[in-house]
Amino acid sequence: MSETPTLKDRITDDMKAAMRARETDRLGAIRMLLAAIKQKEVDERVVVDDASVIAIVERLIKQRKDSIDQFGKAGRDDLVQKETAELLLLQAYLPQALSEAEVNQAIDAAIDEATGGGAFAPSAMGKVMALLKPRLAGRADMSKVSGLVKARISA
């Protein structure tokens, strides 16, 4: 019964390794991530899958970026360094990012699928984004993808 380990399993293994190596900063960041995962499981009474874990990681990355910006403005370099270290650790759990060509290819496929090969109307934007979100989540910046789709509408 050799199941492939889930992302959550990998994070738990990384936490154990950090404990053994006495890497307190890394351990704290991993525990924060596992706490966010556990919170989602308790709140929604579900066992999270890899897609849910990726969504949690993305949310935490966004929080870290916002914090880095705020701490930088306040001149708190010590906190900027801490948040940056957490950001780098969190990014390691995201899947490999897609290239711009791969993103454009996915957008083209979603537009064809949403419009049935017909003209691309602005009303199809929601349908196209609904198709793209599960395909590109964690592998591309969805706000940039949205901008690319809007550019295609106006073209």
Q: What is the mean pLDDT of each run of 10 residues along the chain (155 residues)?
A: 76 94 93 95 90 88 93 93 93 84 86 75 80 80 83 74
Q: What is the pLDDT of residue 1?
A: 42
pLDDT at 3: 66
Q: Note the pLDDT of residue 155.
A: 66
Start-to-end C-alpha separation, the chain: 52
Tell me, what's the pLDDT at 66?
Answer: 94
pTM (predicted TM-score): 0.71
Q: Tell me which H or E stretch contains 53.
A: helix 50-73
Cα separation, 144 vs 134, in Å, equals 15
Task: Please state, in angstroms and rounded to a whole number, the distance separating the CA atoms of residues 41 and 35.
Answer: 10
Retrieve residue 93's tokens. Answer: 């759990």
Q: How far apart are CA 93 and CA 10, in angstroms?
A: 9
d(CA 129, CA 134): 9
**DSSP H or E run through 122:** none
Look at residue 74 in the predicted model and tell me its pLDDT. Answer: 93
- By the 10 Å C-beta count (0-12 exposed, 13-18 middle, 19+ buried), 90 is classed as buried
Count of Cβ atoms closer than 10 Å to residue 145 Cβ:
23
* Residue 79: Cβ within 10 Å count: 15
